Structure 1
């Protein structure tokens, strides 16, 4: 096994306890700043339809960028179904502006720089000392912390009920836009 595969296994094992919220749980409400510093409440977003809530590690993560760009390709289908997409990372609003512009995203990218929402959704974990030797998360995260969210996707109904949940310690595995669209279509 390669050193990279060993490293990935270690990070994945460190994330095993961050299991996220489950289908049927109530999604905690929040108010977070977007890339321009405007405060966005989840409750306001749910007034017009379901929300697809995506937690990602940061603009520095190539897999996260690919995942967000994949969802951008389906933005018109989500809009047609009155479904908003919201992405959240532990970075500062300036960094969320970078990812929004770099990936030409047409949905809200929010900053949870103190990781309160990440904790409320049971996604926060410490990737371990080996990881910290490779990447200084204190320079990436808005609050200078060394923790990350497990990448996750939640589909939340207008009454805050989680209809679908994909939380995976293996950060290379994500719920696809087509899978999420299927869930939203079945809700309608």
Structure 2
């Protein structure tokens, strides 16, 4: 009986994630305005007037080693990205205090937005609600996603990266339900 229940749970979770599609190349990027963890006001429309491209990426939290690796890679290549006219922004559901932990772990200097109400994540189609069983599994590893997000619910993004051109159109999408897969810096650079 337990095996059947687990199989059904995995199937349901897989179907939920499978339904996630995110935005596609060529679509107009949803505009947003938000305050970043460093206190700067971020407005996508304004940034696109000043920069040739915006590299917008979504990550899960300070506790995710794949997220931290990706953030470090972006930080290490920030000069290269900037020279090609890109402005890098991270978006996460984690609280502002948790973003501080991410910044400390990764030495990220680019803006990171705590998407408290999941507004940006929902607009880009990357949000998903963790089922209770998955939340409990994460808690066994010391990660309480709802607590980390300073929220009642446990919502994470499917890690995704969007390169948005000056016209506001999406030029490149990396959207992979496998949270271990991220856009490489070389691929991002080739899209700028």
Which TM-score band (shorter chain)?
Answer: 0.7 to 0.9
Give 2:164's match in structure 1, choosing from 149, 156, 159: 156
1:12 Cα offset (Å) = 5.5
Name the stretch that deviates more: 34-43 or 143-152: 34-43
Does the 8 Å CA contact 2:77/2:185 hold for their aligned counterparts?
yes
For the structure 1 residues 171 and 11, does the alpha-carbon distance in structure 2 shift closer, same or farther, using more than 3 Å as the test? farther
**Is the counterpart of residue 95 in structure 1 residue 98 in structure 2?**
yes
In structure 2, the partner of 1:3 is: none
Unaligned runs of 5+ in 1: 1-6
1:10 Cα offset (Å) = 7.8
Structure 2 distance, partners of 1:93, 1:152, is 20
How many residue pairs are counted as aligned between the two chains?
178
Unaligned runs of 5+ in 2: 1-8, 139-143
In structure 1, the partner of 2:89 is: 86
Structure in which a larger fraction of residues adopt helix: 2
User: Where does 1:10-89 land on structure 2 (aligned, <5 Å)?
Assistant: 14-49=16-51, 50-89=53-92
Q: Which has the larger radius of gyration?
A: 2
For the structure 1 residues 130 and 67, does the alpha-carbon distance in structure 2 shift closer, same or farther, using more than 3 Å as the test? same
Does the 8 Å CA contact 2:129/2:156 hold for their aligned counterparts?
yes
For the structure 1 residues 142 and 10, does the alpha-carbon distance in structure 2 shift closer, same or farther, using more than 3 Å as the test? same
1:96-144 CA-partner distances (Å, limit 9, x unpaired) = 2221222111211111011011011011112323311123321011433
Structure 1 distance, partners of 2:189, 2:14, is 27
TM-score normalised to structure 2 length: 0.85
Q: Which runs of 4+ in 1 moved over 3 A?
A: 7-14
TM-score normalised to structure 1 length: 0.87
Give 2:119's match in structure 1, choosing from 108, 116, 138: 116
1:9 Cα offset (Å) = 8.8
In structure 2, the partner of 1:126 is: 129
